[in-house]
Amino acid sequence: MKVDIALKKVVDESYSITIDTIPELTFNKKVAIVTNPKVAGLHLAYLLSKISATDLYIITVPDGEEYKNQQSVDLILESLFNHRFNRKSLLIAFGGGVIGDMTGYVASIYQRGIDFIQIPTTLLSQVDASVGGKTGMNNRFGKNLVGAFHQPQSVYIDPYFLSTLPKREFGAGVAEIVKMAVTFNKEFFEFLEQHDLHNKEVLKEAIKQAVQTKADVVAQDEKEHGLRAALNYGHTFGHVIEKQTAYKKYLHGEAVAIGMAMANKLALKMGLMTQEEVARVEKVLHKYDLETTYSIEDVEEFYETFFLDKKSSDDSITFIIPQGIGGVKITNECDKELVLDVLKEF
Ligand code: NAD
Ligand code: GLY
């Protein structure tokens, strides 16, 4: 016997990303703003002056990547149950990528899924993490290993929040901007070469370009069956660097910057980039004090660590390699010796 279940779906999960001063937002429903003490201390009063809702609650979780875990998720869930949130209620993620990923994840599981909005406050989360619906948390096996694709209802990117961002956090966000430009948009990269992101108007334009690039990629490949993996340029190497330095020495974006420099050297060896293009990318990264060197003690050990990445399988590693500037190749077929040669040069 066999029973078929017809589940062919056409769903429209399109949403808008506003890059501007946050507008007045009114919700005729229960709303919870999920944030952390640092962001709340700096910016919650401003956000509250813009939001009205039938009932409005603030849920704070401790600040830091180490708190992007089940305990914080439980804390948020508990609060939602205590306040009797229902399937029509709304969550607002107010913070960096940690808050965004975790709030999105809770929204994806609370009563099998409720709506949420992203209001990102770091540059990294404004240009990358808040867009595209990847949500999740870490556990003892690794980073972002538990999660769901759950798109936000909308994203409000207000560059005003960046005025309080520490310099290194700013640089980490720049690395993700450079990532989008090198892999997908030559003109955008030239814009980055010619302009200074410390200028507010320049920064706003760069945020827009980065978000547009990511939005185009996500629209083509939401669940990362192919093209979206290109957004992991610099990450294959960067994740190893983060792991080797126990997630303490480098911010994620800083490790990605070094990872991009490594991927570029691989591209050079494969004839996909010229020396001049490699130098141009490094020059932009250096403008924001991002390092492009890393001392590797044991290249074999570095190579073996690639296999722990969730993008890799038991016997192949996925490398994202630029093709010149503005193009990208995703491959599982990089010769090990070639990769080791690159690593030896670092
Ligand atoms: P984060 O959220 O930890 O924020 C960095 C620090 O800046 C924190 O201490 C935070 O409290 C503070 N902060 C936030 N806004 C501030 C402001 N306006 N002024 C001063 N300080 C502020 O880190 P992040 O770099 O924003 O995000 C990293 C996380 O994002 C990682 O967990 C990563 O896995 C995730 N991520 C997700 C995606 C995705 O597609 N979902 C993409 C990239 C990264
Ligand atoms: N940050 C990579 C992605 O969203 O796919």
Architecture of domain 17-163 in CATH? 3-Layer(aba) Sandwich (3.40)
Instruction: Look up the pTM and report it.
Output: 0.96
Cα dihedral sign, 132-191-266-328: positive
Tokens of 314: 């038991």
Domain with CATH 1.20.1090.10 in the chain: 167-344
With beta carbons less than 8 A apart as the criterion, state whether 85 and 113 touch. no
Ligand number nearest to the C-alpha of 226: 2
User: What dotted CATH number matches 167-344?
Assistant: 1.20.1090.10
pLDDT digit string (tens) for the chain, length 346 residues: 999 999 998 889 999 999 999 999 999 999 999 999 999 999 999 999 999 999 999 999 999 999 999 999 999 999 999 999 999 999 999 999 999 999 999 999 999 999 999 999 999 999 999 999 999 999 988 889 999 999 999 999 999 999 999 999 999 999 999 999 999 999 999 999 999 999 999 999 999 999 999 999 999 999 999 999 999 999 999 999 999 998 899 999 999 999 999 999 999 999 999 999 999 999 999 999 999 999 999 999 999 998 877 666 667 899 999 999 999 999 998 999 999 999 999 8
Residue 225 annotated as catalytic: no
Distance from CA of residue 284 to its chain's centroid? 20
**Looking up tokens 């017809």, which residue turns up?**
6
Whether 252 lines ligand 1, by a CB cut-off of 6 Å, is yes
Whether 165 lines ligand 1, by a CB cut-off of 6 Å, is yes
Burial of 123 (0-12, 13-18, 19+ CB in 10 A): buried
Closest CA to 79 of 34, 137, 109: 34
Residue 79 makes CB contacts below 8 A (sequence gap 6+) with 32, 57, 59
Distance CA 211, CA 332 (A): 27
Domain with CATH 3.40.50.1970 in the chain: 17-163
Q: What is the pLDDT of residue 241?
A: 96
Q: What is the pLDDT of residue 308?
A: 77
Whether 128 lines ligand 2, by a CB cut-off of 6 Å, is yes
Distance CA 184, CA 263 (A): 15
Q: What is the pLDDT of residue 314?
A: 67
What separation in Å is there between the alpha carbon of 233 and the centre of ligand 1? 19
Residue 214 annotated as catalytic: yes
* Mutational test site, ligand 2, from 213, 214, 233, 252, max ligand atoms within 8 Å of CB: 214
Counting every residue written for the chain, the total comes to: 346
What separation in Å is there between the alpha carbon of 44 and the centre of ligand 1? 16
Q: Whose CA is nearest to atom 3 of ligand 2?
A: 231
